[in-house]
Amino acid sequence: EVDEEHVEVLDDDAENVPDNELVMQTTKFKAKTIQELMKLKFEHEKTKLSADATKLLAELFRVLTMEAVSRATEQAKVQCDNVVTTEHLEKVLPQLVLDFP
């Protein structure tokens, strides 16, 4: 069985952050990134995304990302793995998609 203190955090900046603050870090998406992603599906060039819609999408992406990371981490623990891999993410994504229709 793997406990939390044996799960390795693979983050370039993790060495510079005290252990008690790692939990507090959350994902953030830039407004420009959201807008560019949405543009990929817009049928018309003139279609715009409002600031409120961009903020809402950024929050949705953040929540989905954090939930995926949390579930993948739990899956890694269940499998007694110390590193979260794409295998763990692939295992939890189908249920995640069903939980967030």
User: Rounded to whole angstroms, how far apart are CA atoms 94 and 91?
Assistant: 7
**pTM of the shown model:** 0.68
- CATH number, domain of 64, equals 1.10.20.10
**pLDDT at residue 17, rounded to an integer:** 55
**pLDDT at residue 40, rounded to an integer:** 94
User: Rounded to whole angstroms, how far apart are CA atoms 86 and 83?
Assistant: 10
**pLDDT at residue 1, rounded to an integer:** 43
Q: How many domains does the chain have?
A: 1
Q: Which two tokens stand for residue 18?
A: 């005290």
Range of the domain at 50: 4-99
Cα-based distances in Å from 91 to 1, 14, 56, 60, 85: 19, 26, 27, 21, 10
Series of mean pLDDT values for 10-residue runs along the chain (101 residues): 48 55 65 92 92 92 92 95 94 94 70
